Amino acid sequence: MRLEDAFARKVLAAIAGSAAERAEGELAERHRREALALAAAFGIETVEGAPAEGFSWDGRRLRADTEAYVLLHEIAHYQLAAPERRGTIDFGLGPGPDTGDRAAAERAAALPILERDREEAAVSLLGILWETERGHPALASFLDQNWLAGKGSAADARHFTSVLSRLRAGGFVDAEGRPTRRLRAEPDLL
């Protein structure tokens, strides 16, 4: 991916410098505990069980029995959701890939599809930046979440730069390309 923007190149280099393979065994469990500690630092309550038992986010609590990268992705959802959607099943974006009660999550969807997709892209990248910050295999998520869907095309570069610029302008990424602990305060504009 050829990036014209120096800031975007710096952030991509940090992501690319991480592991491309998911952690396993004790390392994976340590990463999961680190992600749960970050959730606690945000004041996010957790509940035992996997997302397949209901939802990743039930409107009050995060399901704890899942991989670190999923937990970090959900923390990014918490940060980027409008305040009125933070108390909604799966943040009012409809079911995620691990959601067990898909019908209830779809009923709770509060945004049009295009707005869901736009927010999901920002959440994806912010979660990957949390992985990078924590020394987790961020490159694995970057590849899994199709950031190179166009095989590193100019469109991929523009999309990455655009999403990163929105995160930075919103105060969710600092001048060094690191995620911040900012929570969105602005309501949805529908």
The confidence score (pLDDT) of residue 151 equals 80
Enter the pTM of the model.
Answer: 0.97
pLDDT band at 150 (very low <50, low <70, confident <90, very high): confident
The confidence score (pLDDT) of residue 62 equals 98
Residue-wise pLDDT for 77-112, tens only, equals 999 999 999 999 999 999 999 999 999 999 999 999
The confidence score (pLDDT) of residue 156 equals 93
Which contacts of 67-70 are long-range, i.e. CB under 8 A and separated by 24 or more positions? Answer: 67/22, 67/28, 67/31, 67/32, 68/23, 68/28, 68/31, 68/32, 68/34, 68/35, 68/131, 68/134, 68/136, 69/22, 69/31, 69/35, 69/127, 69/131, 69/136, 69/137, 69/140, 69/141, 70/98
Q: Quick one: average pLDDT of 10-19?
A: 97
In this model, does residue 23 exceed pLDDT 80?
A: yes
pLDDT band at 152 (very low <50, low <70, confident <90, very high): confident
Q: Quick one: average pLDDT of 46-55?
A: 96
The confidence score (pLDDT) of residue 1 equals 76
The confidence score (pLDDT) of residue 112 equals 95
